[in-house]
Structure 1
Amino acid sequence: MAAILSFVSVLAAWVVLYWDSFPPLIRRWNTDDYSYCWLVVPLAVYVAWQRRELLPKIITPSSRSAYGALLLAGVLYFLGKASAVDALVFISMWFCVLALVLFVYGWRSMKAFFFPLLVLAFAVPPPPFINRTLTFKLRLISSDISVRIMQFFDIPVFREGNVIDLGVIQLHVVDACSGLRYVFPTILLGILMGYWFNSRIWQRILIALATVPTAIFANALRIAMVGYLARNVSVETAENFFHDASGIVIYLLSIVLLALCSLFLNFLGGRKEEQRAESPKGFYAQPAGRVVHLFLMAAVLGLYFAANSFLLSERVIPKRPSFDNFPLTFGHYEGKRDFYSDNILESLGSDDYFAGVFRDSDSGRDVLVLVTYYDYQEPQRAAHNPVSCLLGGGGWSLSSSRDLPAEPDGRPIKVRRLLLDKPGERLLAFYWFQQRGRVITDEYMNKFYLALDSITRRRTDGALVRVEMLLNDGETIEHGQTVLDNFIKNFSSELKPYIPE
């Protein structure tokens, strides 16, 4: 009975500690890229049940290692909360599970639990910056391979970046078509397939290494099939296949390719039966000892929750004027404010915002502005790199990204310059994080100072500022930059009172 109560107390403390982190985790699981995560927890439990025979007869809990894992879970939890990085909080959840396993079964049982814990790690969605990096590279790779496949079958095709021109149709290989949503589940599929069908370590490693090329090739073949259908059947058939059935084709093809690879490796190296672990000699820990450690683990998780609540209660929120009073006329600029719908405001998560269009009376150019301000930032509501938002729709591709230093006689602050393009249009965008007296263009440094100020100053307030303009035909980037520099020179002085130093 005491053992059951101790386990329930740990489970309850774990749920309470991470209660506000479950909604963002579930939202990530509900996206197309990470919908496979719903299967991860049942799979991990099933694999652990399969490997129960590998548990040694004599179980010695590893309390020191367990407390170390619990401490690391706490560090990741507070760093994630302080720097508003959800991924660190999610990883903290996993380390708590590891600590529980070590408290109950110890290192001697890792032969049984290592693989289920590895599978469970796939329930943690990667940080957004990994998505952005992989997506950009995978789009180009998938586009290049698909064009080569179509050229092999004598299909006339021309590629420019991530745009594939077939004459009768143009395929834009945007983020959703990059193949990223197939990479992680294919890796998981390969690891499970290697575990179930291959018994030798080198075979399982080769299967795991084959998963990424398999996913990329399958996605490129999907795009090539769309091109074939567009040229030889109809554009409507190609478009319907591209959006409806192509995902199923990729998964089935990936399963077939990995299964063939697994069979071939078994043919080369054969299979061997996995032996049950020998009963090692050692001290048999009394159940009461484990019960005490589990109650202590629940108490530590409770302390983490209390400490986080204390930090939240001591949060400093500076006073500031609302953007409702932001001037729409300054210098030779005249603006018009835009108001977003409730759905957009919910996705922004900001406490105040300013969105509008300013016209330069001298040049007649329109400059789009978006400023999102946060009284405090946490993983569910924080300023983030706007690249993913800019690339999230409309078919834009990132052409270049670089920092521009402040200019003594011009733009008074440093900015990050982005050049985005799509067929027939180019967008020049500047952005910067203006937070607690600092102007930062690097999102990782912004997270660092966010965590630092959260601990030392109890402040996480700040804003993200975006300034954008469409470039005219034939207009150079340098000329467009001059237009935006002049605007920011006037705009930044008007913005300053609305963002506390």
Structure 2
Amino acid sequence: MVRVVAGSDLAFRPALTAGLCYIVAVLACFWPTLMGMVDIWSRSDTFAHGFLVGPISAWLVWRQREGLAGIAARPVPWVLPLMLPLGFAWVLAELAEVRVVAQLAMVAILPVGLWAILGHALIQRLAFPLGFLFLSVPIGEGLIPPMMEFTAWATVWLVEASGVPVYREGLLFTLPTGVWSVVEACSGVRYLIASFTLGLLYAYLTYRSLARRVLFALAALLVPVIANALRAYFIVMLGHLTNGKLATGVDHLLYGWVFFGLVMLLLFWLGGIWREDTEHPRVASPTESGDAPAPLSRLFITCCGAILMAAMWPALAHMRQATLSPVVAEAPPAPPALASWEVGGAQPWRWQPVREANVLRTQAVYRFGGEPVVLYLDRLDPGLEGAELVAMPSRLLGEGESSRLLRQSAQAAPVGVTAGRINQFSVADGHDRLRVWYWYQIGSRATGGAVNAKILEAWEKLRGSGVTQARIIVVTREDSLAAGAVDTATERLARFLGHAGPVIENTVAGEAASGASRE
């Protein structure tokens, strides 16, 4: 190994100072975005590892300090324009309150600016530590529905293969000894994120070849998915064989984490068979790199340019927010009686969608013979921070023990609704089985997609106009869906929206936007 001379440390100090100044400036400019991440880390077990990502990344840089000091910093100012799309994405996400996109954009701005300041050679050495920072972003909730579905399917298949009769209804399945359901905590997303974070770090520290690192990272993604299905199966069978005496309550989660720990230990043990960390790479000296340090003036100018490129976006978002037209904070009125539908009375079931504190709600019950249809019109209160209408079914369902999500999907919107596609899910609450349809309306445009809703919101705010945000929910009782049975819940909701859909959307949009184009 070639030892780095003290002079190289002195030559590296200006680059180190410039890089640290840029990092501090970016964190200061995007402080609210950073604090939003910290808030999620502090209240979510799934993303609590975010507190460790920054220190681990700093340690990864520190452990190769001698090699870094032997490489000359060569600023590349032409990289700075790459910050433009990242900053614009952050502005759009901030205006539309898409926190995860804003957080990803903020993290991405860090390595791009450092690339411009330090140059190609240094950024290549720092690629993994800087890339590791992306694991601090609380992302992955979109995987919860498909992983819940896979866990339910795999568990039922394994239970049936074990000779135990089981009846599945969506995410709810019944055995002779009890009823089980797959909830968010059982989806395995928590295991998946933890496994991938640990696996990625292990692969970087243990292997030298890119192929082995990629293969181990893929194994760290695949293994927890399979392991979670086996974990759910073992817990269900343990509860079944002990007649509910074991694997319920707190020990349910305890057995899950113990099993996950054993699986990870086995994965790391197998991965250690092909380890390549016993040979340390040779450290280059400044003379071997062939590059002389850049002039301090060029380093200073590039650093200042990177800081200005990062700081302009929060300033732009603040100016845009200040020019938005105010929106009246009041709940939209429910339509009166429509055609043969009578309005009034109380809903005959207990369950209703969760309403956040920053949401204004209007509720009405409509009847046309038989079962009623309940309408919920939710409007965002723009005067409150953190207001959000876009939600997955599990968020509308709530965290109560009595309500269970059975199934969820997207489907074509019925006649009378201009959203194109709407969201659908079924919920079990005691003896009630309910069908829920919902979609969003941003200004005068309706959409069922969460991404579309956020794009429309950001576009309206970029135009400088206040925008009404609403969530429209209709609920009715679900009849038997046995083979050959008529799906009367779908027919009832479609018939109601055929009469009420245009009235609801025009009411939400308001008279000023009644003639606007619809999606």
* TM-score bucket of the superposed structures, by smaller chain: 0.7 to 0.9
The separation in 2 between residues aligned to 1:404 and 1:22, in whole angstroms, is: 38
Q: Deviations along 1:110-160, whole A, 9 cap, x unmatched? A: 33211111211101122xxx633x3233223333444555567x4625252
User: 1:109 and 2:122 equivalent?
Assistant: yes
The separation in 2 between residues aligned to 1:241 and 1:319, in whole angstroms, is: 46
* 3-state SS of paired residue (1:236): coil
Q: Give the counterpart of 1:461 among 452, 456, 468.
A: 468
Q: Give the direction of change, closer, same or farther, for the CA distance of 1:304–1:496 in structure 2 (3 Å limit).
A: same
Instruction: Give the equivalent residue in structure 1 for 2:371.
Output: 365
User: 1:53 and 2:63 equivalent?
Assistant: no
The separation in 2 between residues aligned to 1:9 and 1:114, in whole angstroms, is: 19
Range that drifts further, 33-42 or 284-293: 284-293
The separation in 2 between residues aligned to 1:324 and 1:452, in whole angstroms, is: 23
Q: Deviations along 1:47-88, whole A, 9 cap, x unmatched? A: 121222332624233332541343233122112123332122
User: 1:98 and 2:98 equivalent?
Assistant: no
The separation in 1 between residues aligned to 2:302 and 2:408, in whole angstroms, is: 55
Q: Which runs of 5+ in 1 are unaligned?
A: 338-343
* Residues 158 and 164 in structure 1, CA contact (< 8 A), matched pair in contact too: yes
The separation in 2 between residues aligned to 1:376 and 1:192, in whole angstroms, is: 42
Instruction: Give the equivalent residue in structure 1 for 2:55.
Output: 42
Range that drifts further, 422-431 or 163-172: 422-431
Range that drifts further, 72-81 or 272-281: 272-281
Structure 2 matches for 1:238-317, cutoff 5 A?
238-240=247-249, 242-266=251-275, 272-277=279-284, 279-317=288-326
Q: Give the direction of change, closer, same or farther, for the CA distance of 1:280–1:157 in structure 2 (3 Å limit).
A: farther
Structure 2 matches for 1:179-194, cutoff 5 A?
179-194=188-203
* Residues 171 and 182 in structure 2, CA contact (< 8 A), matched pair in contact too: yes
Q: Give the counterpart of 1:28 among 30, 40, 52.
A: 40
> How many corresponding residue pairs?
480
The separation in 1 between residues aligned to 2:236 and 2:334, in whole angstroms, is: 50
The separation in 2 between residues aligned to 1:208 and 1:413, in whole angstroms, is: 40
Instruction: Give the equivalent residue in structure 1 for 2:412.
Output: 403
Instruction: Give the equivalent residue in structure 2 for 1:451.
Output: 458
How far residue 498 of structure 1 moved from its aligned partner, in angstroms, is: 4.8
User: 1:480 and 2:492 equivalent?
Assistant: no
Instruction: Give the equivalent residue in structure 1 for 2:75.
Output: 62
* Residues 179 and 219 in structure 1, CA contact (< 8 A), matched pair in contact too: yes
The separation in 1 between residues aligned to 2:231 and 2:123, in whole angstroms, is: 40
Supply the RMSD in Å over aligned alpha carbons: 3.5
* 3-state SS of paired residue (1:165): strand
Instruction: Give the equivalent residue in structure 2 for 1:168.
Output: 177
* Residues 368 and 468 in structure 1, CA contact (< 8 A), matched pair in contact too: yes
Range that drifts further, 64-73 or 168-177: 64-73
How far residue 44 of structure 1 moved from its aligned partner, in angstroms, is: 1.2
* 3-state SS of paired residue (2:247): helix
How far residue 210 of structure 1 moved from its aligned partner, in angstroms, is: 0.7
* Residues 334 and 359 in structure 1, CA contact (< 8 A), matched pair in contact too: yes
How far residue 486 of structure 1 moved from its aligned partner, in angstroms, is: 4.4
* 3-state SS of paired residue (1:95): helix
Q: Deviations along 1:221-246, whole A, 9 cap, x unmatched? A: 32222123223335132103554413
Instruction: Give the equivalent residue in structure 2 for 1:471.
Output: 478
User: 1:435 and 2:442 equivalent?
Assistant: yes
User: 1:156 and 2:164 equivalent?
Assistant: yes
TM-score normalised to the size of structure 1? 0.83
Range that drifts further, 371-380 or 95-104: 371-380
Instruction: Give the equivalent residue in structure 1 for 2:517.
Output: none
The separation in 1 between residues aligned to 2:332 and 2:414, in whole angstroms, is: 31
Q: Give the direction of change, closer, same or farther, for the CA distance of 1:92–1:165 in structure 2 (3 Å limit).
A: same
Q: Give the direction of change, closer, same or farther, for the CA distance of 1:100–1:380 in structure 2 (3 Å limit).
A: same
Comparing both structures, which one devotes a greater share of its residues to helix?
A: 1
Q: Deviations along 1:198-220, whole A, 9 cap, x unmatched? A: 33322222211111221022212
The separation in 2 between residues aligned to 1:431 and 1:178, in whole angstroms, is: 23
* Residues 52 and 112 in structure 1, CA contact (< 8 A), matched pair in contact too: no
* 3-state SS of paired residue (2:52): helix
Instruction: Give the equivalent residue in structure 2 for 1:354.
Output: 361
Instruction: Give the equivalent residue in structure 1 for 2:4.
Output: none
* Residues 417 and 430 in structure 1, CA contact (< 8 A), matched pair in contact too: yes
Instruction: Give the equivalent residue in structure 2 for 1:177.
Output: 186
Q: Deviations along 1:142-194, whole A, 9 cap, x unmatched? A: 33444555567x46252524334332122212222011111122011111112
Instruction: Give the equivalent residue in structure 2 for 1:87.
Output: 100
How far residue 403 of structure 1 moved from its aligned partner, in angstroms, is: 1.6
Q: Give the counterpart of 1:374 among 377, 380, 389.
A: 380
How far residue 497 of structure 1 moved from its aligned partner, in angstroms, is: 4.0
How far residue 366 of structure 1 moved from its aligned partner, in angstroms, is: 3.4
* Residues 26 and 307 in structure 2, CA contact (< 8 A), matched pair in contact too: yes
**What amino acid is the match of 2:438?**
Y
* Residues 323 and 498 in structure 1, CA contact (< 8 A), matched pair in contact too: no
Instruction: Give the equivalent residue in structure 1 for 2:390.
Output: 384
How far residue 348 of structure 1 moved from its aligned partner, in angstroms, is: 5.3
